[in-house]
Amino acid sequence: MKKSEAKDIRTNLAIALLVQAVTYTGLWLWNEYVASYFTLIIPGVILIILILATISDFIEPSRIPGWYYGLMLVSIITPIVIGAVFYYLYDGHLEWLV
């Protein structure tokens, strides 16, 4: 892999992280009920897909590029971090839980 390709992959992962952060932040500002469910469900589904892809890659090596795993990890971590930040900002008092 060339250095320019690795730089492009890191740039694309950073863009994906920023797009997800803006999307989840907007969702939290719009409706915390929907956002909290998205924050819990989406990373879980992506984690299951990541585990299945990793298992299938160990069983029979495939042509899954390395950036796929990075994108999946970013997609798992970003909503959890954004959710934790908003949970902290709301002091743990989400209106729909009251």
Cα-Cα-Cα-Cα dihedral sign, residues 37, 39, 42, 48: negative
Query: Of 78, 84, 75, which is closest to residue 36 (Cα–Cα)?
Result: 84
8 A C-beta contact, residue 17 and residue 70:
no
The tens digit of pLDDT for each residue in 20-59 reads 999 999 999 998 899 999 999 999 999 999 999 989 888 9
Domain boundaries, the chain: 3-97
How does the average pLDDT of the chain come out, rounded? Answer: 88
Return d(Cα 72, Cα 79) in angstroms, integer: 12
Indicate the pLDDT class of residue 93, thresholds 50, 70 and 90.
Answer: confident
